Structure 1
Amino acid sequence: MAADTLALYALTSAILAITPGPTMLLALSNGIAGGMRRAAWGIAGASLGSTVVISVVALGLGSILAASRWVFDALRVAGVLYLAWLGLRMWRSAAPDLRTAIAATPDGPAQGSKALLRSLAVALTNPKALLFFAAFLPQFVDVHAPQAAQYLVLGCVFIAIDTAVMLAYAGAGTQVVRWLSKRSLQWLNKGCGAGMWLLAGALALWRRPGV
């Protein structure tokens, strides 16, 4: 893979990662509610989900799954319902107490596991991600060279960039707790919840090209 191709891919991936999506909102929300420890669990879940999706595409299964209307619609409905549920949880969640939010004692494993599973579920129930990777990654693959290693490099680069951006969102969440009032944090939670509903609505209305 040429260096200029890889640089273009990294730049494109960075632009896409910065765009707010469900995993970014979760990283921000986890940073607000539980600090970097809980956010790190959620980021791990989102990265694991991306790894699975990219692996599916690299194995050639992405096009097969995308071609099945029933599988695609089932996955889309699951994603819509899950995003809507997460939005409701965020909307109804209480603002964290400042002393608790900045305390040195981190969340326990139970809260971390929940954050991981939520982000993993979001990543795996988003059919747009499957179609995106199925259409996006092959454009940067040299068909005349071994493809497995190229997909490995492309996947690692995307996940590294996406993880860095999620860490930035989570870090912003931990700082917001220090500077905003409890009432403001409550409204920020509601804003994240409303963002999830908007994403759920967009996914519900979205159709595959050619459908």
Structure 2
Amino acid sequence: MPLENWIAFTVACIVLTLIPGPSVLLVVGQALTRGEKAAMMCVAGDLIGGLVLMLLSFLGVGAVLAASALLFQAVKWMGVLYLAYLGCRQIVDARKDMFELSGSGNTSTGWGSLCAGAVTAVLNPKAIVFYMAFLAQFIDPAGNLVRQMTILTATSTLVVAVLLSAYAVIAIRARQVFQSRAARQKVGYAGGTFLLGGSILIAASR
């Protein structure tokens, strides 16, 4: 793989990850409402989802999805509904926290956050288009396909892990300021709003 192709791919990954999208909003929302463990599990789930998209792209599923407007729209609206559901549930949980013992509304095994991160990544139209439609632009047809896909997958995973973790850390630090029940409720509403915002972003995308 030419060095310039790898550099271009890395820059594209950085830019796309830095721009707040469904994955970023989900991680921030989880960090604000459920804490550090949930946020990091959410990041791990997003990485798993990214690996799934890379694998599907390698298997040629991306070409089928990119060529079918109906299938793409179906996946897109599944993502919209899923994030909207998570956002509404977060807001309901925040409301209930006003009537629960301190801290009881913020416990999480992390597995729900892991699944949420993975599903959101797989159903994210921005990621689908990037991995399944544009990925081929960075690959040298004359080179070893498996080796190039391995390099691109490792690069993408590292970039996403670092940047999403940074978003999570910032949100976790902000969460630590709010300890009272009333403050936690407001943070919960904010987290739910972030998720609803993510669903709106997906719905508005083309």
TM-score bracket for the superposition, by shorter chain length:
0.7 to 0.9
Distance 1:142 1:120 in 2: 29
Distance 1:180 1:148 in 2: 48
**Which residue of structure 2 aligns with residue 25 of structure 1?**
25
Where structure 2 has 5 or more consecutive residues not aligned to the other structure, the ranges are none
- SS of 2:110's equivalent? helix
Call closer, same or farther: CA 1:204–1:38 in 2, change over 3 Å.
Answer: closer
Call closer, same or farther: CA 1:128–1:18 in 2, change over 3 Å.
Answer: closer
**Which residue of structure 1 aligns with residue 162 of structure 2?**
164
What is the Cα deviation at residue 37 of structure 1? 2.2
Q: TM-score, normalised by structure 1?
A: 0.81
**Which residue of structure 2 aligns with residue 126 of structure 1?**
124
Alignment of 1:28-67 (within 5 A): 28-67=28-67
What is the Cα deviation at residue 121 of structure 1? 1.4
Deviations 1:79-103 (A, max 9, x none): 1111111121233332799x849xx
Alignment of 1:1-211 (within 5 A): 1-94=1-94, 100=103, 111-180=109-178, 182=180, 183-207=182-206
Call closer, same or farther: CA 1:195–1:39 in 2, change over 3 Å.
Answer: closer
Distance 1:141 1:193 in 2: 39
- SS of 1:179's equivalent? coil
Range with bigger deviation, 76-85 or 1-10: 1-10
Distance 1:32 1:61 in 2: 35
What is the Cα deviation at residue 73 of structure 1? 2.5
Distance 2:35 2:195 in 1: 20
In 2, are the aligned partners of 1:87 and 1:195 still within 8 Å (CA)?
yes
- How well do the aligned residues superpose, as a CA RMSD in angstroms? 2.6
Deviations 1:160-180 (A, max 9, x none): 111111111221122112224
Where structure 1 has 5 or more consecutive residues not aligned to the other structure, the ranges are none
Range with bigger deviation, 189-198 or 134-143: 189-198
Q: TM-score, normalised by structure 2?
A: 0.83
User: In structure 1, what residue type is equivalent to 2:30?
Assistant: N
Distance 1:189 1:143 in 2: 49
Distance 1:48 1:164 in 2: 14
User: In structure 2, what residue type is equivalent to 1:66?
Assistant: A
Task: Report the identity percentage.
Answer: 28
User: In structure 2, what residue type is equivalent to 1:92?
Assistant: V
In 1, are the aligned partners of 2:2 and 2:140 still within 8 Å (CA)?
no
Distance 1:4 1:153 in 2: 13
